[in-house]
Amino acid sequence: SREDVSYFGAGPAPLPTSVLEEASKVLLNYNDMGIGIAEISHRSPEANKVLADTKHALISLLDIPEDYEILFLQGGGSGEFSAAVYHMVSIWVEKCRKRLETEIEQEVATKRLRKKVMEGLKLDYLVTGSWSLKASQEAARLVGAEHVNIALDARKDNDGKFGKIPAEDQWSLTPTKREDGQGPAMVYYCDNETVDGVEFPSFPASLESKSENDDRLVVADMSSNFISRKVDVRKYAVIFGGAQKNIGNTGITIIILRKSLLPPQSELASPQLLRSLGLPIGPVVLDWPTIAKNNSLYNTLPIFDVWVAGRVMQGLNNTYQAKKILGQEGISQKKSDMIYGVLDKYPNVYKVVPDKSVRSRMNICVRIHGADPEKEKEFLDGASKSNLLGLKGHRSVGGVRVSNYNAVPIPAVEKLTEYLESYARKSA
């Protein structure tokens, strides 16, 4: 039964049992309406309340400032790999167009704009693991590799493998103050690499904006460490994450977006202009301004998924009260310290994959006995017999991965550390 099992899946991932118990009830009968939450209209007052409550829970948990918008979309984290490119390119182009057209007549401006796009459009990516790599590949697919600046490829000087974040002075970010007055359209990074177990220890200092017009528009994928630690939202233009790890079940993506990127403060380039420049135009279901204008209800939003996310976040707010996300941050740290503590005790048996300085608190990647396939299988079989599930590493890298998301309780971590101890002692 559920009580017997400790689950460490990487996503979909465990959800709080109390939320699932309530979910099973509201799926049958929501608010005594005689119909379930997955059956009600996404435009009903009840659905609107679910949406408002969930937004409110997130705002309160992360202290999201008023000049940020929250959007709920579908299409997963991967959908936002594309959406980030569409929007940030469009905003960049529109800024260029405006600047040029104030200087010169329109016909000349269009020619110059084309030249500017060809020569100056850059999207910066910090590639620290397989998800930021995928995001950068999507950018190259959409706008051409010549516009993608891999400001950092962490596999370099590390045997072609992820597991480190080189010092910032080794990154090659596009300068914000270039001669043509136009910096990069964005700088993108993945805060926690789910497959490789690499997490940024904190916000990178070189991405800090030194002044208003020196603004780097930072876009961060927080799919696998969302709501697990304090985040200074103001440092970001956009934060996004799929719900299926720390927040809820699969089906929605949450975006926290600086309102000034939306109309009327920020204009996006017209589809005609983008088309004439050979740049991509995104599908309307991923269009942030459209989603924002429609309170995330442009098309049918899975309200049940929003409800689950809301209950999970309200649960954290209730548990941690005034401490808010710092309460969860403390617990996440404690649980990951417990796990790394045992792993480090037995270096002849366990080898944590990433460098100590960038170890993820959420996805703990480890090899056993020098990545011996038989030993790793033995470890996983033994874990499974002890009802410790979801520990297999991602198919692309193998090994063992412990996902330590918010809903993994301390007793589950204790059972795991006992198993780690006993396996190490037996097989040392």
Binding site for ligand PMP (CB under 6 A): 11, 76-78, 131, 190, 194, 221, 223-224, 242
- 241 forms bridges with which residues in the sheet? 254
For tokens 């009600």, name the residue. Answer: 40
Contact predicate 194/10, CB 8 Å: yes
Q: Residue 135 or 339: which CB sits closer to ligand PMP?
A: 135
Q: Which residue is nearest to ligand PMP (CB)?
A: 76
Q: Which tokens belong to 361?
A: 């608190």
- Chain center to CA of 101: 37
Sign of CA dihedral 246, 248, 249, 250: negative
Instruction: Provide, rounded to whole angstroms, the least separation between the CB of residue 76 and ligand PMP.
Output: 3
Minimum Å gap between C-beta 245 and ligand PMP is: 7
What is the gyration radius of the CA atoms in the chain, in angstroms? Answer: 23
In whole angstroms, the minimum distance from the beta carbon of 333 to ligand PMP comes to 20
* Smallest distance, ligand PMP to C-beta of residue 422, A: 30
What amino acid is encoded at 356 in this protein?
K
- The candidate with the shortest Cα–Cα distance to 180, out of 115, 105, 84, is 115
Nearer to ligand PMP, 224 or 404 (CB): 224
When the beta carbons of 190 and 257 are compared against ligand PMP, the nearer one is 190
Minimum gap (Å) between residue 175 Cβ and ligand PMP: 28
Q: Which lies closer to ligand PMP via its Cβ, residue 40 or residue 88?
A: 88
In the bound complex, what is the minimum distance in angstroms from residue 233's beta carbon to ligand PMP?
18
- The CA-based angle 354-358-364, given to 5 degrees, is 55
- DSSP H helices, 295-324, are 303-320
**Residue closer to ligand PMP, measured from CB, 10 or 262:** 10
Instruction: Pick between residue 40 and residue 227 the one whose CB is nearest to ligand PMP.
Output: 227
Q: How far is CA 188 from CA 128, 198, 298, 315, in A?
A: 11, 16, 27, 31
User: What distances in angstroms separate CA 337 from CA 70, 324, 330, 360, 417, one per listed residue?
Assistant: 32, 21, 10, 11, 11
Please identify, using beta-carbon distances, which residue of 58 and 220 lies nearer to ligand PMP.
Answer: 220
- Quote the tokens at residue 316: 């954290």
For residue 128, give both structure tokens.
Answer: 């620290």
- Nearest approach, Cβ of 356 to ligand PMP (angstroms)? 21
At residue 380, φ and ψ (nearest 5 deg) are -70, -40
C-beta of 9: minimal distance to ligand PMP in Å? 11
The least distance separating ligand PMP from the CB of residue 229, rounded to whole angstroms, comes to 15
Structural contact between residues 195 and 130, judged by C-beta atoms closer than 8 angstroms: yes
- DSSP string computed for 180-219: TS---SEEEEESEETTTTEE-SS--GGGS-SSGGG---EE
Contact 127, 136 (CB under 8 A): yes
Is the Cβ of residue 131 or residue 423 nearer to ligand PMP in the bound state?
131
Rank residues 139 and 190 by Cβ distance to ligand PMP and give the closer one.
190
